[in-house]
Amino acid sequence: MESNEKDKRIPCKYGSKCYQKNELHHKKYNHPPKRELELLDDVKKPVKKHKLVAKVSVKKNTKMKCKNECSTSSENNTEAPPNKIKTPPKLNKTFTDEPVKQTIAQETCTLGNEGPSEGPVTSKEEGDKSSEDGEDNIPSSPEDVRESIKQKFLLEMPEDFYSFWSFCENISKDKPSEAFKDVGLYLVGPFDVLSGDLKKVKNRRLSSYLRHWRYYYDPPEFQTIVRGDDKQLFHMGYYRDDPQSPPCFVASNCAAVSCIIVPVAENLFGAINSYLESKKKTCGPFILMKVSRLQNALQSWAKRNNFTLDVSTSQMKARERKVVAKTFHKAGIVVPVDKKSDLGYREMLEDDASLKRLLKRVADSTSDAERTSCLGKLQPVLTAVSIATDECDFGTGLELGIDLFSYGGDVFHNTIVQYLNTAYTLLQRQEFSKIIQVLHAISHLDLCLPQAHLKLRKKGCHLSMLEEDSR
């Protein structure tokens, strides 16, 4: 082997810290002699997944080799970054509420991001004004309403969204958003762009738009578009597995009751029709007449425009077969899984019931000593998930992040963001990563901290950025 000084290969910028064992990487990049000998010697050894010995249930198919070629950078023969996940995140052990807030504000996200923490992505153009608390306002709204919605919510709305708005304009020309107020439903979220209500806001921060009508248990995959009663906090929204793909279905949640997300129908027409059908069984004679009139009009419009009203379609069933884990919210997650190598997802050490018991012990701890003890019992789960993510089973980190998000609790904030931010980045779901970073920020000056969004997860019905703007 040539000496390190005479070697014509490109020096690897990670030097002795490089973990890559891919042969192509070593042919192209030069490493310190001692480290190179170690790595080249290890290339001959097969790299296997760590077997997760579950206490309750273990995925049978987790003995496949984890190939280094699963890395995009290795496949393209480009220089790979250092190992992103070396140690699991440590949970916040602070007991009292006030110290917890102080600790979170001082921490930075280290899992999957060894450099400076990346703040929310916002656009800044010449002439744009910054809000009083430091976060830049987004540029002027695009003339195209579809692009305007995507600018503010980072997601594209499907065709049934725009057709439903036209239907509501036909029913209530002056206030389409209140076309269904007689049955307790109001159009919100992205619909406020169509109504023009969001033109009234002064502080046009991306974080404010992303928090607009986002309920406590709404993960990045769920975008609220209809709100119901304020007692149970019933609402409906589009649920999608990938931000670049159309919604999988319209789902509902009662945020005052639980984190459960219930698939209702493939599109908004089907979801509202299902709601009206249920309403007819419980309402009085006077309301029944209004419900029937609205339902007849909706069914006629849906039929003319070829929108199915079925609550279970072939598309929804196909998606259900791809679900790798139900998660606490029961809507499930879908991630790519390679059938040959079995890479993409493996089950966690604990099943849902066992994990909930562990989390409850942490959340219910009454002293620092008790909390430290409970965190110690949870740490093996985090370690196993970090290993799974490091071995290309990105869905496992996503499952844990969603479970923690659905469970809630200040003590888990930092861990939630670290796992979700890492999973979304590795799954190339950057829009979800941005949403999890900027939602519910208590201070926009803290937005450089990825965990800041969880400080103001709101339990209530006052979720409109119009209310926030008026304060």
292 beta partners: none
- Gap between the Cα atoms of 169 and 282, Å rounded: 27
- Gap between the Cα atoms of 376 and 174, Å rounded: 58
- What's the predicted TM-score (pTM) here? 0.74
Tally Cβ neighbours within 10 Å of residue 340: 7
Helices (H), 107-249: 145-153, 159-171, 191-195, 206-211
Task: Please tell me whether residue 263 adopts helix, strand or coil conformation.
Answer: strand
11 beta partners: 30
30 beta partners: 11
Handedness of CA 254, 263, 195, 457 (dihedral sign): positive
pLDDT tens digit sequence for 280-295: 999 888 899 999 999 9
265 beta partners: 250
Token pair belonging to 73: 């950078």
Residue 81 — φ and ψ, nearest 5°? -75, 165
pLDDT tens digit sequence for 82-124: 334 434 444 544 333 333 332 323 333 333 333 333 333 333 3
Token pair belonging to 426: 């590795």
Query: Tell me, what's the pLDDT at 197?
Result: 93
Whether 218 and 152 have beta carbons less than 8 Å apart is answered as no
Tally Cβ neighbours within 10 Å of residue 450: 28
Q: What is the b/e burial string over 315-329, where b = at least 16 CB atoms within 10 angstroms of the residue's CB? A: ebeebeeeebbebbb
Give the pLDDT of the chain (471 residues) as one tens digit per residue: 444 556 778 787 667 667 666 676 777 778 777 555 555 555 444 444 443 433 333 343 443 444 444 444 334 433 433 334 434 444 544 333 333 332 323 333 333 333 333 333 333 333 344 444 557 788 999 999 999 999 999 999 999 999 999 999 999 999 999 999 999 999 999 999 999 999 988 888 898 899 899 999 999 999 999 999 999 999 999 999 999 999 999 999 999 999 999 999 999 999 999 999 999 999 888 899 999 999 999 999 999 999 999 999 999 999 999 999 999 999 999 999 999 999 999 999 999 999 999 999 999 999 999 999 999 999 999 999 999 999 999 999 999 999 999 998 888 888 898 999 999 999 999 999 999 887 534 333 444 443 434 555 667 788 888 886 655
Return the residue matching tokens 């006030």. Answer: 98
96 beta partners: none
Return the residue matching tokens 């578009």. Answer: 225
333 beta partners: 325
Q: Annotated catalytic, 125?
A: no
Whether 248 and 241 have beta carbons less than 8 Å apart is answered as yes
Return the residue matching tokens 């005479």. Answer: 6
Catalytic member of 36, 350, 391, 431: 391
The residue extents of the domains of the chain are: 10-35, 145-321, 352-440
